[in-house]
Chain A
């Protein structure tokens, strides 16, 4: 424990350097702006800024991205409360009670509770990240290729279950992503695969133009769909920001519950901040003495979910730092940034680059503090960003995507890939496909292939030797159960309803 404290102190010494403070500030401001703007989420912003990080060192890039991720969670809640517009998916739940509070003249209180809740959650989740990542990384050092294969497979299967929407569609996206990852020279034999004589494809399809196309360009196209452009903005006075004593008293327990719940959900693959907010809202409603207030402006409905989505961010960093496996698309972009700097995340990263790990952790604390200091007094400034007409904002985003992609490899093929995947992303979204599994599979794909081929080699071609290892088997069982349990429950519910149709009618009425 003393060692952790000492490492954290050295992390602070590094993160408090002016340049890193600048990156943290820049990240939090950019993150808040992207959170405020509907359509452009943290993932899009991180993908767009990926090329910018080339001019920074790896620590700077990580600090910038952490700031963006946390900032987006803060910013998203501002528009949810003031305008009933969720800046990003994780703020949808905040609209329910946050906007009702704003209508009752308690917008300032809702914003403060949301900011303080986010700060508490951020701090708890960073503590959790520190302890769990170190513990997991220590264990992961003993993992071989079969274990990494099992973690990857289990992660993707859980992602399919938790992404929402059609399971079949999620599987299609995963296999598409993995298929894209096989393009290029085979790392073991040096044989070209699916390059069709295009020399540039030998290095494979770069992750950056695909991510920027699917999340950046596709997002722009989806936003262009709607014709109305200007937004009416509501003002909040500084004097209205302070909640009453009763409101504070009602907010603190949900904040802490949301923080723990959010962190735990953040460890699981999938859109964890979104799931965390819904889970927190439902649990707060169940625990509340006045559940009828939910939906009418209950402060617990703001405090819990806002804490949960921020805590999930810290949780999402655990598998990336400890195992080198991103469980959310945003973490895939962070992984991409690390790889651009020649670093391979995983258990060895914490051991080999402790300065980077601890500086990032320390910068998260600093970033969270900056967000509280910045966001409350500047809430009107951030909300007025919505006044920038979309017909100016969207071309700017497209240009940043185009030049950003070109600046990484100076490759015209990358620009074409960006355009193609912008269209693919837009088209697939239109028919209900979630793009996240494709991106994650594309990033995890090469690791899965390496692990599987190495595992088979080690086990002498015996598939049982790859699967029937204690950790692997446990993970495969967990993955299978996530499919079996919901199906069994569905079957039980169906048969129960068919046996008791009257009871069914009554429950529907309730």
Chain B
């Protein structure tokens, strides 16, 4: 049976090879120029070719390796991983840009912080909520008031800005 790490390596090799193919073929739409006057596509073609070459070798190496079966240590390491936390944090980071404009800074930061805290320690949701609220308010005051960063603001932010003044 194939180990999870080998599966991961195969997927990575395929994705990398796919990306290099995409990049390599995209380069040809750009003007190459001449060797004396290289155009905007000259360097990308060189990089694309080398990247494609390397990723193809990598793909061949990964698929050419014989698997020695799944070790117990490998299984234990995989089972010990906190995948819920990893995917949750990734989801929060990806969602943040989408909700930031819509919900404005305080609410979106509160939501993201709360989800992350609950994901990492699900036992104490009320404590997590107040901690997340503290994080959102503190980060708003630090970035907006102290550092003068223009953050997406609505009614709540205006109110907090006035109180903090």
Contact = CB atoms under 8 A, between A and B. Distances in A.
B50 to A, nearest CB: 5
A509 interface: no
Contact of A182 (B37, B44, B101): B44
Contact of B86 (A194, A426, A433, A452): A426
A217 interface: yes
A427 B12 contact: yes
Nearest to B10: A431
> Among A179, A217, A426, A460, which residue has the most Cβ atoms of chain B within 10 A?
A179
Nearest to A432: B9
Contacts, number: 164
A412 B93 CA distance: 12
A398 B38 contact: no
Looking at chain A's contact residues, the main secondary structure is helix
A414 to B, nearest CB: 8
A398 B90 CA distance: 10
A426 B40 CA distance: 32
B41 to A, nearest CB: 8
Q: Is the interface of B mostly helix, strand, loop or mixed?
A: helix
B25 to A, nearest CB: 12
Given A194-B26, A460-B36, A412 B97 contact: yes
Contacts of B63: none
A175 B97 contact: no
A485 interface: no
Contacts of A40: none
A431 B30 CA distance: 33
Interface in A366-404: 389-392, 394-396, 398-403
B38 A453 contact: yes
B117 A399 contact: no
Contacts of B39: 189
A171 interface: yes
A452 B135 CA distance: 48
Interface in B61-88: 61, 80-82, 85-86
A312 B123 CA distance: 45
**Most central of A189, A394, A399 by chain B CB within 10 Å:** A399
A460 B16 CA distance: 36
A395 B113 contact: yes
A11 interface: no
Contacts of A418: 93
A406 interface: yes
A231 interface: no
B147 A416 contact: no
Contacts of A457: 36-38
A415 B58 contact: no
B47 A178 contact: yes
A293 interface: no
A16 interface: no
B12 A428 contact: yes
Category for how many chain B residues contact A: 35 or more
Interface residues of A, number: 63
A73 interface: no
A15 to B, nearest CB: 23
A491 B54 CA distance: 23
A221 B8 CA distance: 16
Contacts of A401: 93
Interface in B29-43: 30-31, 34-43
A489 interface: no
Nearest to B93: A419
B58 A175 contact: no
A430 interface: yes
Contacts of A217: 89, 93
Given A221-B90, A226-B80, A407 B44 contact: no
Interface in A191-231: 191, 193-194, 217, 220-221, 224-227
A410 B109 contact: no
B118 to A, nearest CB: 10
A233 to B, nearest CB: 20
Interface of A: 52, 54-55, 168-169, 171-172, 175-176, 178-179, 182, 186, 188-189, 191, 193-194, 217, 220-221, 224-227, 389-392, 394-396, 398-403, 406-407, 410, 412-413, 415-416, 418-419, 422-423, 426-428, 430-431, 433, 449, 452-453, 456-457, 460-461, 463
5 contacts: A176-B19, A392-B117, A398-B112, A419-B90, A456-B37
